[in-house]
Structure 1
Amino acid sequence: MTSRLLALPLIAGAAALALTGCATSSASGNASDDETVRVVASTNVYGSIVQSVGGKDVEVTSILSDPSQDPHSFESSAKTQLAVSKADLLVENGGGYDDFMTTLAKASGTKAATIDVAELSGLDHGGEFNEHVFYDYPTMVKLVAEVQQRLTKLDSAQADTFETNAKALTAKLDDLESQTAAAKAKVDGEKVAYTEPVPGYLFDAMGLDNVTPEKFSEAIEEGDDVPPAALNETLQLFRDKTVRMLAYNEQTSSPETEQVKQAADQAGIPVVGVTETLPKGEDYVSWQQANIDAIQAALTK
């Protein structure tokens, strides 16, 4: 899917100037002077994974963490800049999803290394790349290994802790993969739709066939007007009961997505809410477990 999202407004001159003098991580890549390893993640999805590996020995800041916030619109603050300037490690989605991280890093002058998860994934970036790689469990397994390696380099004294935590989290991610493989044996080929390609990789893992008109989902993702023909074609999927389920991005809405949701409700087709950040009180694994459970429940109705 084409890149979009999370535009970063220019930071006010006074705030930017005030922050240029903030302490930054050392060029050697070691942890901060107070020996606390500090990591800044673009969203709490990645913050959760880093915290699970790092445990109490790592201080994690997630820039986007409010489940009610529209992740397509983000405004920086001096506090955010300060956190980035003091970071020992940055974690971003990449793939055009959270370009604000690059802007923040440049403005703060940090020398912290950055993990670009889209790049780490090895997934095909050609054509219409779906940048929502946080719904791809094999990619998250790679991320856990990368985070363990980076944290160990920053704080070798806690290497055993990071290794133990990484193994435990990887086992949980492997279980999620096993569940999707088992689900595929039951629902492979079922036609489904979404308002945006947020759960696309999860759909693929479960063998689900997304038949949403590309011009509809692209327009919604980019925040553009949906072509009337694409909207009508999408609505027809529900009128004809072509699809078994609709995945609805709960963090962005428009008149067109509301029309589609209403069409699904009227046709008696289950609507499953999906998000781009963690709901309150959830960690990465519990969030994705809930997604798997909700999709399977919808497809059995």
Structure 2
Amino acid sequence: MRRVALATGLAALLALTGCSDDTDTLRPTQTPADGSTAAATSTGERVQVVTSIDVYADLARTIGGDAVEVRSLLASDSGADPHSYEATARDQLAVRNADLVIANGGHYDEFLTRALSAAGGERAVITVVPGEDEGHEDEGHEDEGHEDEGHEDEGHDEAHGHGRDGNEHVWYDLQLMGTLAGRIAEELAQLHPADREGFAARATEFENGIAELRQRQETMFSAHDGTPVAVTEPLPLFLLTDCGLVDKTPPAFSQAIEEGTDVPVRVLQDTLNLFSERAVELLVYNEQTTGPQTERIRKAAEDAGIPVVGMSETLPTGQDFLSWMRANLDAIEQALA
């Protein structure tokens, strides 16, 4: 298995390792004599891409175009929790037949990690957030110009495999998604060389879209730097932080909601006080993780006249990644106006 890991916010190729499994009889591995994967698929075949979540499936389709066939193991309407999901036999077959697998990492989609371990054979694997045991060999850092001095300034936390501040919802990090687009294009170019220029052009177009969104974030940062906000869980924090907004939610509250445990009474009251005391100017609410305690928080915000913006963990039906993030920024701007 050849693994490609992205450090949060940086184009870092952390590891390339090879392994083979003679028991992989469903799809024979096609590896050139030089050990590369450039000819893993013939020019007449579509590259088989498997992703853990629909967000990465959208990026793969956007960049791959007609040259790829993409399957997300967790569809947007599945309602399944990635933390507890178990890969089905059909999922396992898809992974075994994949030419490229895109995983979130950071312990978010361990069902895919287990499926990869069981699959055998060879395939390209992009892991967006490397875990503790994923891709920390020194040689991988040197080969790709991985510089240590740039990490402290950016607040990255590779060693713990959770990205910035332990947040595994890295698709809300727009800069990282631009970096990921480039990595997908590079991997697809190796697997399907005939469409190399198309992959590069579509990745550039996507990156230009990201640049426009990042420019909006910079404008919002100038206008709202230091504005206090609250969240029901860490889902949108990359997006909010890069807009200059500061999360004032008690960490024990958002952690409990994310882990599906009860919020301690004192912590719940401290969170409710943020609204009754008007200590925050916005609540960002995860629409896909709701319950009695998050509903109390939402009602407290509404009763205090504090705007509530809903965001989702999966790509909304009928949207692509760029239109989704554009809508999220629109909602934040309107709420703070």
TM-score by structure 1 length?
0.88
Aligned structure 1 segments of 4 or more residues deviating by more than 6 angstroms: none
State the Cα deviation string for residues 25-83 of structure 1 (Å, max 9, x = none). 53453444662201111111111111111111111111122246143442422221111
Is 2:55 aligned against 1:48?
no
What is residue 6 of structure 1 aligned with on the other side? Answer: none
Q: Which residue of 2 aligns with 1:169?
A: 206
2:326 to 289, 294, 300: 289
Q: CA separation in 2, counterparts of 1:206 and 1:66? A: 26
Q: What 5-or-longer segments of structure 2 have no aligned partner?
A: 1-22, 136-145
User: 1:130-279 counterparts in 2 under 5 A?
Assistant: 130-279=167-316
- Alpha-carbon contact 1:41-1:47 (below 8 Å) kept: yes
Relative to structure 2, which stretch is displaced further, 155-164 or 103-112?
103-112
SS at match of 1:182: helix
Q: Does 1:124 align with 2:147?
A: no
Residue identity in the other structure for 1:57: A
C-alpha deviation, 1:112, in angstroms: 1.3
Larger mean Cα displacement after TM superposition, 112-121 or 275-284: 112-121
* Equivalent AA in structure 2 for residue 37 of structure 1: V
d(CA) in 2 for partners of 1:70, 1:253: 14
Q: Is residue 115 of structure 2 the alignment partner of residue 78 of structure 1?
A: no
> Using a 3 Å threshold, how does the CA distance of structure 1 residues 244 and 67 change in structure 2: closer, same or farther?
farther
2:41 and 2:191 in contact (8 A); partners too:
no
The answer to whether the 8 A contact 1:31-1:154 is kept is yes
Shift of 1:132: 1.2
- TM-score, with normalisation over the residues of structure 2? 0.79
Identity score, percent: 41
Q: Secondary structure at the match of 1:93?
A: strand
Which residue type is aligned with residue 86 of structure 1? N
- Aligned-pair Cα RMSD in Å: 2.1
Q: CA deviation at 1:254?
A: 2.2
Asked if the contact 1:67–1:278 (Cα under 8 Å) also holds between the matched residues in 2, the reply is no
Q: Which runs of 5+ in 1 are unaligned?
A: 1-18
The answer (yes or no) to whether the contact 2:24–2:121 under 8 Å persists in 1 is: no
Q: What is the alpha-carbon distance in structure 2 between the residues aligned to residue 67 and residue 79 of structure 1?
A: 18
Q: Which residue of 2 aligns with 1:97?
A: 108
The 8 Å contact of residues 71 and 276 in structure 1, kept in 2 or not, is answered as: no
Q: How many residues align?
A: 282
